Amino acid sequence: MTKPLPDMMDCFAELIAIPSVSSTDPAFDMTNRAMVETLANWFGDLGMDTELIPVPGSAVEKFNLVARMGEGADGLVLSGHTDTVPYNEAGWSSDPFILTEREGRLYGLGTADMKSFFPLIIEAIRSLDLKSRDRPLVVLATADEESSMAGVRALQDSGMRLGRHALIGEPTGLVPVIKHKGILIEHIELTGQSGHSSDPSLGNNALEGMNRVMNRLLEWRKELQSSFHDSSFRVPVPTMNLGAIRGGDNPNRICASCELAMDIRLLPEMAVDEIRAALREKVAAAIEGSGLQLHFKEQHAGMGGMQTPADAEIVRVAEALSGRESATVAFGTEGPYLNAMGMQTVILGPGDIEVAHQTDEFVSMDRLQPMQKILEKMIQHFCLPS
């Protein structure tokens, strides 16, 4: 016996009750199988063809879900990630896995970021008659957005064509977002030789080498900030943060190894691979002739920024439906990957980024109905004949 598709709030509560943490730390990382299977059943009930696509590279099972109604690559894609960040139960006022209403807010892990998006899509589809559609509708539910972006990377690598116009329901407080910065993270390791501090010829000081590296990087930061500028961002230049340093043990020992962890927040026009190559060249040049060994630990592939043209159809429609001008945000999304797959992507969702990744995460109830309306009208615009 198949259960009827639950109503919107029951769907929402059921998704919140399914733990789907993703983390680069295997101690916290979970499979998203139950989450994608539940969504696949629901979208199947709505008449969509569903496909669970395994995502490689994880110790536990991870899947992307693609649900389609109609053929072709010119339709609308509604996209969200199925995972949440890890949580600290002690800080929560109510169980993070029980959707809990208090004072006009719905609390739970992933309410804002971004499980609320899926029940709203379901409700929007349910309220429309899509038999007469002339362009396809695709719902995409990805794995591991919060950790490695492995889900959307696998989709991009597969060369799958999903659609032309994409909406990602990440928390933007119902404001359409068309631009965000990218990120490049680097761990720089220098290895020298320890020795008694009284005789520098006995060793090779990695800490002093790192000092030269840092000076060169900070000079380069000035160069980058004078070369790249985008006034639509609150911080209109690329940033570079030297975030952590570790090295040496004792004042009277020559420091044998030193590691620096840093990030660069890239403007959308800056290509991750080019900036990484330039960074590595500058670091190598800074310690040239020192005899120190240099190693880069690549733990994070980095991500380009997103930039969707302001005159794209999806942008104009999202602005009209939300009544808000498109904006930029500081956080990263799967948008650049979807754009690289031939889509034009807007980020627009009911949650607020300020409460995402926090204890007592919530979505305001008064955002749900407007978001559902935006989804209905968006599906009408892109998938039904005018």
CB under 5 A: which stretch of 58-66, 112-120, 188-196, 201-209 binds Zn ion? 112-120
Sequence-distant (≥ 6) Cβ neighbours of residue 166 within 8 angstroms: 76, 77, 78, 79, 314, 335, 338, 343, 344, 345, 346
Residue of 121, 170, 175 lying closest to 351 (CA atoms): 170
In the complex, least distance from residue 114 CB atom to Zn ion, rounded to whole angstroms? 5
CA Rg, the chain, in Å? 24
Q: Which is nearer to Zn ion, 171 or 192 (CB)?
A: 171
Contact 41, 65 (CB under 8 A): no
Q: Residue 31: name the closest of 17, 39, 21 by CA.
A: 21
Smallest gap from Cβ 315 to Zn ion, in A, equals 20
The CA distance from 368 to 332, in Å, is 23
Q: Which one, 29 or 113, has the nearer CB to Zn ion? A: 113
Q: Could you say which of 83, 113, 144, 376 is catalytic? A: 83
Binding positions for Zn ion, 328-367, rule CB under 5 A: none
How many angstroms separate the CA atoms of 182 and 238, rounded? 9
Question: Residue with CB nearest Zn ion?
Answer: 113
Binding-site size for Zn ion (CB under 5 A) equals 3
Smallest gap from Cβ 143 to Zn ion, in A, equals 12
Smallest distance, Å, CB 145 to Zn ion?
6
The 67-106 contact track toward Zn ion, x by CB under 5 A, reads ----------------------------------------
String of DSSP letters for 197-250: TT-GGG-B-HHHHHHHHHHHHHHHHHHHHHH---TTSSS-S-EEEEEEEEE---
Quote the CA–CA distance of 238 and 243 in Å, as a whole number. 16
Closest separation between CB of residue 105 and Zn ion, Å? 18
Write down the residue that tokens 């983390």 correspond to: 23
**Residue 154 identity:** A
Handedness of CA 214, 215, 216, 219 (dihedral sign): positive
Binding segment toward Zn ion, per CB under 5 A, in 124-132, 162-170, 192-200, 276-284? 162-170
Nearer to Zn ion, 55 or 237 (CB): 55
CA distance 116 to 166: 17
Cα separations in angstroms, 201 against 193, 247, 329: 10, 19, 51
Q: Which is nearer to Zn ion, 146 or 208 (CB)?
A: 146
281 is catalytic: no
> How far is residue 170's CA from residue 145's CA, in Å, rounded to a whole number?
11
Q: Does 113 bind Zn ion (CB under 5 A)?
A: yes
Q: Which one, 144 or 170, has the nearer CB to Zn ion?
A: 170
Dist CA 57 CA 63 (whole Å): 11
- Cβ 170 to Zn ion, closest distance in Å? 5
Tell me whether residue 89 is one of the annotated catalytic residues. no
Stretch that binds Zn ion, among 67-75, 114-122, 228-236, 360-368 (CB under 5 A): 114-122
In the complex, the smallest distance separating the C-beta of residue 312 from Zn ion, rounded to whole angstroms, is 22
Query: Of the two residues 83 and 186, which places its CB atom closer to Zn ion in the complex?
Result: 83
N-terminal to C-terminal alpha carbon distance within the chain: 39
Residues 6+ away with beta carbon under 8 Å from 46? 5, 69, 122, 125, 126
Q: Of the residues 14, 113, 144, 145, which is catalytic?
A: 145
165-184: which residues touch Zn ion (CB under 5 A)? 170
The smaller minimum CB distance to Zn ion, of residues 99 and 279, is found at 99
Q: How far is the CB of 196 from Zn ion (least distance, A)?
A: 52
The residue among 209 and 349 lying less far from Zn ion, judged by its C-beta, is 349
Contact residues toward Zn ion (CB under 5 A) are 113-114, 170
Residues annotated catalytic, as ranges: 83, 145
